[in-house]
Structure 1
Amino acid sequence: MQRNEAQTVKLVLDDQPHEGILALPSPCAGLVIFAHGSGSSRLSGRNNYVAQVLQDAGFATLLFDLLTEEEDRIFENRFDIDLLARRLIQASQWAARETLLSNLPQGYFGASTGAGAALKAAAQQGDMIRAVVSRGGRPDLAGEALPGVEAPTLLIVGGHDPVVIDLNKEARSRMKANCDIEIVPGATHLFEEAGTLEKAAQLATQWFERWM
């Protein structure tokens, strides 16, 4: 494993190989592990953009496939929050065993359904996860795990995504951890509008800098 360049890594999760993309800048303030949304992968253009912004700010990033190609063909797996959270926890455990990553504080960045998985995984790991950021996420999918989340959490939602705004507000009301909502004006669910993804990446970076 080398610093300062993105590289492909192999993770074994539930006894199956999963590909990941690891970037490790130097110096490094912490590791942000990404949880992509349904139908997406480690190659998500939006998540890779956010990862690049975090790398420029001195954070290592790990994007990996939560599901194998075969698993992803089964639609229900994309919304199996228990399965996705378990894979995230195993990715955290993998990082904790890697020499260059083991001493780094960890945070999660979740998009869409990945946000629900990130919060559920964080709730099961206590203070090992220092911060969570959700972009256009479904934190409500973490269900009964929400009150158990200890990590300070930022919920970023598009101003033109009213249903998800309501779901995020409802999720925040169930959380005991420090939890803020940031609404990005003009953004729809996927943050495709000019400047909106950049704003989300900036907010995420500031949150991780504050708490990690």
Structure 2
Amino acid sequence: MAIDSGGVRLHADLTLPARPSALVVLAHAGPNPEARDDALAVILRHAGVGTLSFDLLTRSEDRFVDNHHNVPLLASRLVDGLTVLRQHMLLDELPSLPVGLSAAGDCSPVVVRAAAIRDRDIYAVVCRGGLIDLAGMLYLRTLASPLLVLVGDGEQRVETSNRRALRELTGRKELKLLPASADAPDSAAAFEWVARETAHWFVRTLPTATANTVNRA
């Protein structure tokens, strides 16, 4: 799927199961190297949830590190993508589905800000690491979507910062730490834990999903 935003054309990969109950947008900036997203997409599809992997940067922009930290730019592009997605649903070009957002690292504050802007359209958000306070205080305080923040074991600064930021939210929120049993943060066990915690959150909070479906994944 091609998405135009601010004069650039961005790319998104849409995958829908036979009878999708919801759709999760997996936002990232630059080519997505994370095995977590692949594992998550598989689990979500088994749960009947479609995925849209959305790259918020062009190939040429990816070379510049500052672009990866530009929350206003990336959030604006994500909002444009959500607008296009909504238009496709209204035109019956895509099934009308509740939408969730998921991101990691530098894109975590991006999805928080976008969800706050599109509060009527976003039903759940998951952030894996990253500093959500970079979304901006106004957006934290206006976020209505249920938010799950996952933090790696030993990331004390990230945990402390995110716990402080979560106090600004008035809606449903939760922070979970990677269990010691998951070994290293980049291990297969950690990938599986992150994917399953993310999927469970979406299945519990997206309107048409049921917890029993993920348990069978």
The TM-score, its normalising length taken from structure 1, stands at 0.88
The TM-score, its normalising length taken from structure 2, stands at 0.86
Q: How many residues align?
A: 201
Output one character per residue of 1:1-49: Cα deviation in whole Å (capped at 9) or x when no partner: xxxxxxxx22222231112211011211111011226xx4245432222
Contact kept in structure 1, 2:35 and 2:191, CA below 8 Å: no
Amino acid at match of 1:143: G
Change (3 A) 1:22 1:43: farther
> What is the alpha-carbon distance in structure 1 between the residues aligned to residue 169 and residue 188 of structure 2?
32
**Larger RCO of the pair (alpha carbons < 8 Å, separation 6+):** 2
> What is the alpha-carbon distance in structure 2 between the residues aligned to residue 44 and residue 185 of structure 1?
19
Output one character per residue of 1:136-159: Cα deviation in whole Å (capped at 9) or x when no partner: 232121122111100000011112
Contact kept in structure 2, 1:96 and 1:102, CA below 8 Å: no
1:89-104 aligned at under 5 Å gives the runs: 89-98=79-88, 99-101=92-94, 103-104=96-97
Amino acid at match of 1:35: A
Output one character per residue of 1:151-173: Cα deviation in whole Å (capped at 9) or x when no partner: 00001111222121112111111
Partner of 1:45: 35
* Structure 1, gaps ≥5 residues long: 1-8
* Structure 2, gaps ≥5 residues long: 207-217
Q: Say what the alpha-carbon RMSD is for the aligned residues.
A: 1.8
Partner of 2:212: none
Q: Does 1:206 align with 2:196?
A: no
Amino acid at match of 1:10: A
Change (3 A) 1:137 1:205: same
> What is the alpha-carbon distance in structure 1 between the residues aligned to residue 105 and residue 18 of structure 2?
30
Identity of aligned residues (%): 31
> What is the alpha-carbon distance in structure 2 between the residues aligned to residue 127 and residue 209 of structure 1?
18
Contact kept in structure 1, 2:36 and 2:192, CA below 8 Å: no
> What is the alpha-carbon distance in structure 2 between the residues aligned to residue 152 and residue 45 of structure 1?
24
1:34-183 aligned at under 5 Å gives the runs: 34-36=26-28, 40-42=30-32, 44-98=34-88, 99-101=92-94, 103-144=96-137, 145-183=139-177
> What is the alpha-carbon distance in structure 2 between the residues aligned to residue 191 and residue 54 of structure 1?
21
Shift of 1:210: 1.1
Give secondary structure in 2 for the equivalent of 1:132.
Answer: strand
